[in-house]
Chain A
Amino acid sequence: MLIDYKDKGKPVNRADSDTSLMQAISVNDKDAWHVVIGLYASSVSRYAAWILRDQSAAEDITQETFLRLTKKAATWTPGPTTVKAWLFRVARNLCIDRLRTRKEEYVNVAAPAIAGLDSLDIDKAIDIVTSVNKSLNKLPERQKSALILVHFEGLTGAEAAQALGVSIDATESLLARARRRIRKDLTNVFPDLIGR
């Protein structure tokens, strides 16, 4: 449950909170715009970077996603779809469009992502990030998206289902297949960590 964006500490229904936020955005409330960006911009941009493997393209997708939110705000109606799930659904569709048409060179996000780490064994962390990226990139897009949304970005099964445009059962199936394939891949890379 989220809280009303201007009344922190007073719990309100999630749909009410989303509606309040979208109404404020529709009348150009600067605070509301800051709130929605603060809540979701990082997460959406990470998701796009995971999918596209291109930091610059991920920035474009994130910007376009939030610009579309501005347009959507005026016609937002409360329903089962959360603002969070709506944002990921738009970002995913934009990523798919980009993947269909892109001709950019592959740019791996692992190196810049790992650069700020200081509390981990850097070599091991780079191995892990590289291996996970490699394994993720072998997955069909929907399995990959399901895993990223739920495991990395903390969406619930219901939110991920809304973002993916499928049922919760289908989302669970995508998650299970994704984890099994990733596990199989990573067992070969890290036999000392998995499947002992």
Chain B
Amino acid sequence: MNYQEFKDQLDTWGADIRKWPTTLRLDAENLLISCPKALNAFRDAAALDAILNTAGEAHKNPNSKFQSSSVKKIVATLLNRNQTHFPL
């Protein structure tokens, strides 16, 4: 794997190499050890991941109004409607 291939995978999957295609992970880890430029790109992708994760986790937070009211309401409505249409 060369630097550009590594960068393309970073752009696609982010810095969590566990999400990468399995056939590329070992090559990616080897490049990280041997190529400072790859390590810089990896750190940069990890920083972007951290920002995206913060936004994503805010939406998933079980204590947020979105989760506690909206999802409960959805589930209750679905269960009620399902029982109405298809008596269980």
Contacts and interface: CB of A to CB of B under 8 A. Distances in A.
Interface string B1-27: 000000010011110000101000000
A8 to B, nearest CB: 20
Given A63-B81, A176-B12, A194 B44 contact: yes
Interface in A143-166: 150-152, 157
Contacts of B67: 42, 116
A112 interface: yes
Contacts of B49: 151
Contact of A152 (B13, B48, B56, B74): B56
Interface in B41-88: 44, 47-52, 54-56, 58-68, 70-71, 73-75, 77-79, 81-82, 85-88
Nearest to A30: B88
Interface residues of A, number: 53
A50 B11 contact: no
B11 A37 contact: no
Nearest to B88: A30
A164 B88 CA distance: 33
Consensus secondary structure, chain A interface: helix
Contacts of B64: 112-117
Interface stretch (A76-84, A94-102, A124-132): A124-132
A66 to B, nearest CB: 5
A77 B79 CA distance: 24
Contacts of A109: 59, 66
B74 A194 contact: no
A190 B49 CA distance: 13
The 7 closest A-B pairs by CB, nearest first: A116-B63, A116-B64, A132-B55, A152-B56, A112-B65, A176-B11, A30-B88
